[in-house]
Amino acid sequence: MGGSNKVGVLCADEFDAESAKNIATDGGRRVGGVVEVVGAVLTLLSAAFIILTFPLTAWMCAKVVQEYERAVIFRLGRVVKGQARGPGLLWFIPWLDVIQKVDLRTVSFSVRPQEVLTADGVPLKVDAVVFYRVVDPSLWVMRVQNGYQATLTLAQTTLRATLGAHTLMDVLTQTPGITKRIEEVLYGVSLLWGVRVERVELKDLMLPVSLQRCMAAEAEAARTARAKAIVAEGEAKASRALMEAASGLSSVAFHLRYLQSLSSVQSGASIVVFCLPTELLDVFNSQQP
Q: Is there a single domain that holds both residue 38 and residue 115? A: no
Angle, CA of 214, 218 and 222, to the nearest 5°: 170
The residues of the chain scoring below 70 in pLDDT are: 1-32, 246, 248-252, 254-255, 258, 265-289
Task: Examine residue 97 and state whether it is found in any structural domain, yes or no.
Answer: yes
Nearest to 189 by CA among 153, 138, 142, 165: 153
Which of 71, 88, 103 is the last residue in one of the domains? 103
- Cα–Cα distance, 163 to 119 (Å, whole number): 8
Q: Is there a single domain that holds both residue 97 and residue 62? A: yes
Task: Examine residue 21 and state whether it is found in any structural domain, yes or no.
Answer: no
List the domain range (segments joined by +) for residue 55. Answer: 32-103
Q: Is there a single domain that holds both residue 173 and residue 207? A: yes
Q: Is there a single domain that holds both residue 67 and residue 158? A: no
Q: Is there a single domain that holds both residue 115 and residue 171? A: yes
Q: Is there a single domain that holds both residue 96 and residue 125? A: no
Res 69: pLDDT: 92
Which of 174, 191, 211 is the last residue in one of the domains? 211
Nearest to 65 by CA among 50, 47, 84, 79: 84
Res 132: pLDDT: 93
Q: Is there a single domain that holds both residue 200 and residue 123? A: yes
The model's pTM is 0.62
Q: Is there a single domain that holds both residue 193 and residue 177? A: yes
Structural domain count, the chain: 2
Task: Examine residue 45 and state whether it is found in any structural domain, yes or no.
Answer: yes
Which of 103, 129, 149 is the last residue in one of the domains? 103
Q: Are 120 and 138 in contact (CB under 8 A)?
A: no
